[in-house]
Chains A and B, each alone.
Chain A
Amino acid sequence: MNSKEIWVFIEISDTGVEPVSWELLGKARELANKVNFLVTSIIISNKESKIAEEAIARGSDKVLYIIHNECSHYSFELFTKIITDLNEKFKPEILLMPATHNSRDLAGRLAIRLHTGLTADVVQLDINNQGILLGAVPGFGGSILAIIKCEQSIPQMATVRPGIFQSILPDQNRKGTIEYIFPQIKENLKETILIKKITLNKEDISKSPRLVIAGRGISSNLNEIRLLAELINGGVGVTRPISDMGLFGREHQIGSTGISVKSKLAIIFGASGATHFSSGIKNVETVISINLDHKALINEVSDYFIIADASEILPRIIDKLKLKMELIK
């Protein structure tokens, strides 16, 4: 039987599979079960690896594993060409891709080449009985969601930022097929030359169980924010203004233009709670906030809120915590 397919592009970087790929695979599995489609993982690399088996354990029915000696690293020419050729052959209904820099670089080009619609940065995904993908995209400020669909062309493409969906824990008993493909590509196709790669150990706060989050109101006390995070063994998150000021890297920025987090606890200092920020803390278990304005939106999205000068409260929390920890020792 020729079943319809949902494809997930598994992005590989020098540090391994980008975790968002597994999150997409988890969602693809759920959508596929609803309409009885197959889930296929697309892996592009320069060598064989255990990633194929992991993709099956995490929800794929099938893996298309493309091996080409120039694909140890992403280049728009080869990756666009490879997926275009695969698409021609297999004609998937849906193609899901991570909203990382490289996969967006690829998705934007691919959507034009495949003459199809691309819904970027979806925060919810569903599928209807006709197999039409429904992607929710936050509008201005994130208070409204536009449900976007692409009915006239396939593959229906969507990109998803890290932290939106849940990955499935690997189940080694899951069955699936792996097909290796060795594409013949004309030699001068790739003109991009990689001169140098600088790998940074960027902190991944989306995995942190506890977060201390800094807004504009605490921008001059960021060292204390770091200290508190260290004390509670957590990560540091920031709002967009702090990231825009260059005080923390984008990987720390929370919200609809940054990352979504799902920590057990988030303590937020000096943030007003603009909706494009708040959409990123939706999945946090317990939210505590401290800010000066009793009318601020942040109060409404907190489990516990305090109306006070965050810069006054912060050092006292640190002192008190240190004291308590001494006692516990």
Chain B
Amino acid sequence: MKGINIVVCVKIVPKPEEVKLNLETNTLDRANASSIINPPDKNAIETAIQLKQIYGGQITVISMGPPFFDGFMKLIISMGVDKAILLSDRAFAGADTYPTTKTLSQAIKKLGNVDLVICGEESADGGTGNVPPGIAEWLNYSQATYCHEIDYDASEQRFIVKRSISDGFEIISIPKPAVVSVELNINTPRFPDFSLKKELDNNKHKIPIWSATDLDLEPNEIGLSGSFTTVDSLIQAKGLERKQIQIIGNIDDIVDQLVDLIINK
């Protein structure tokens, strides 16, 4: 195949500010939170589209989530990717990064001949940033995380990336196939083509759904039973014991008191 065969891993997450803590059951109530595409994943999609525009190739989006996320997959296709697949199985639930990365990597294997996997830097819900290097390990691909720029050297079959590190940036070259993660806001994700979205909705375009069986995954490799970490308990974060003194008065009084506080601290 000519060009780059790209897979983008996308997560649909609840809007963080809409998730409430149920104080009676001490559990998180996500039911009333609306879902969005994990913000840096949109930058990952945009990165893939820009690479395809330059070098040609194909873009497939994969996402773990319930079948009713197919609307999001159609939205993503309307942004300009070629194909979107949902990895959906009740048995995937409760997975930590170990079975999550296993599941995603099995889907990438099944697609075959992949040159580049692009992920967002981390997910907005309990984001750890550990998924991209985890996928790379399962697939024995090279990796680069926290990237700002990604380019392809077709003659060398390598990707040249600029990534941010503690004391600045580095530019590294990694061989294909590779997994990269991109930072939030590295580009401006394009708007979906809403007429295409409408068309996909109208002609009942079916988003393929791959289950654990489709991915050759055993029950003990996925979900909660495939996880190494468990939740021991949930506790209320310690309240901040603050004085909570309101400074009142006219603006000159307030400024005077503030300046005194600042000078004395």
Q: Which residues of A contact B (CB under 8 A)?
A: 11, 13-15, 18, 73-74, 76-77, 80, 100-102, 104-109, 111-113, 115-121, 134, 136-153, 159, 191-200, 202, 210, 232, 244, 246, 250, 257, 264-265, 267, 274-276, 278-279, 282, 285-288, 299-308, 312-313, 316-317, 320-321, 324
Given contacts A144-B28, A306-B246, contact A153 B128 (CB under 8 A): no
Bound state CA distance, A192 and B28, in angstroms? 42
Interface of A, secondary structure class, is mixed
Chain A residues whose CB sits within 8 angstroms of the CB of B132 once the complex forms: 108
Whether the pair A313, B130 counts as a contact (CB closer than 8 A) is no
Chain B residues whose CB sits within 8 angstroms of the CB of A320 once the complex forms: 255-256, 259
Chain B residues whose CB sits within 8 angstroms of the CB of A140 once the complex forms: 14, 16, 19, 21, 28, 125-126
Whether the pair A101, B185 counts as a contact (CB closer than 8 A) is no
Whether the pair B254, A313 counts as a contact (CB closer than 8 A) is yes
Chain B residues whose CB sits within 8 angstroms of the CB of A115 once the complex forms: 98, 228
Whether the pair B263, A308 counts as a contact (CB closer than 8 A) is no
Chain A residues whose CB sits within 8 angstroms of the CB of B50 once the complex forms: none
| Per-position binary interface string of chain B over residues 87-103, scored 1 when its CB falls under 8 Å from any chain A CB and 0 otherwise | 00000000011100100
Chain B residues whose CB sits within 8 angstroms of the CB of A305 once the complex forms: 244-247
Q: Which of B16, B163, B255, B262 contacts A276 (CB 8 A)?
A: B16
Chain B residues whose CB sits within 8 angstroms of the CB of A199 once the complex forms: 167-168
* B2 adjacent to chain A (CB < 8 Å): no
What's the nearest-Cβ distance from chain A to residue B22, in Å? 10
Interface of B, secondary structure class, is mixed
Whether the pair A109, B166 counts as a contact (CB closer than 8 A) is no
* B77 adjacent to chain A (CB < 8 Å): no
Bound state CA distance, A34 and B137, in angstroms? 35
Given contacts A105-B133, A193-B173, A265-B262, contact A306 B167 (CB under 8 A): no
Identify the stretch in B55-63, B107-115, B139-147, B195-203 within 8 Å (CB) of chain A at 4 or more residues. Answer: B139-147
Given contacts A147-B233, A148-B229, contact A244 B168 (CB under 8 A): no
* B231 adjacent to chain A (CB < 8 Å): yes
Chain A residues whose CB sits within 8 angstroms of the CB of B98 once the complex forms: 111-112, 115, 117-118
Bound state CA distance, A144 and B184, in angstroms? 25
Given contacts A145-B237, A301-B242, contact A286 B265 (CB under 8 A): yes
Whether the pair B237, A105 counts as a contact (CB closer than 8 A) is no
Q: Identify the closest chain A residue to B14 (Cβ).
A: A140
Bound state CA distance, A274 and B19, in angstroms? 12
Chain B residues whose CB sits within 8 angstroms of the CB of A139 once the complex forms: 21, 28, 126, 234
Bound state CA distance, A148 and B98, in angstroms? 14
Whether the pair A194, B263 counts as a contact (CB closer than 8 A) is no
Given contacts A198-B170, A312-B251, contact A192 B19 (CB under 8 A): no
Whether the pair B172, A193 counts as a contact (CB closer than 8 A) is yes
Q: Which residues of B contact A (CB under 8 A)?
A: 14, 16-17, 19, 21, 26, 28, 96-98, 101, 125-134, 136-138, 142-146, 160, 163-175, 184-185, 227-238, 240, 242-248, 251, 254-256, 258-259, 261-263, 265
Bound state CA distance, A112 and B164, in angstroms? 23
Bound state CA distance, A105 and B163, in angstroms? 11
Q: Identify the closest chain B residue to A321 (Cβ).
A: B259
Whether the pair A308, B254 counts as a contact (CB closer than 8 A) is yes
Bound state CA distance, A243 and B63, in angstroms? 27
Q: Identify the closest chain B residue to A294 (Cβ).
A: B246
Given contacts A148-B229, A150-B229, A199-B168, contact A136 B125 (CB under 8 A): no
Q: Which of A118, A197, A232 contacts B168 (CB 8 A)?
A: A197
Whether the pair B262, A267 counts as a contact (CB closer than 8 A) is yes
Chain B residues whose CB sits within 8 angstroms of the CB of A278 once the complex forms: 240
What's the nearest-Cβ distance from chain B to residue A98, in Å? 9
Query: Assuming A111-B134, A275-B237, A301-B240, what are 10 further A-B pairs, CB within 8 angstroms?
Result: A117-B229, A139-B126, A232-B262, A244-B185, A257-B127, A274-B17, A303-B244, A312-B251, A317-B255, A317-B258
What's the nearest-Cβ distance from chain B to residue A115, in Å? 8
Whether the pair A100, B166 counts as a contact (CB closer than 8 A) is yes
Whether the pair A107, B262 counts as a contact (CB closer than 8 A) is no
Whether the pair B229, A119 counts as a contact (CB closer than 8 A) is yes
Q: Identify the closest chain B residue to A120 (Cβ).
A: B128
Chain B residues whose CB sits within 8 angstroms of the CB of A159 once the complex forms: 128
Q: Identify the closest chain A residue to B122 (Cβ).
A: A257
Bound state CA distance, A149 and B243, in angstroms? 35
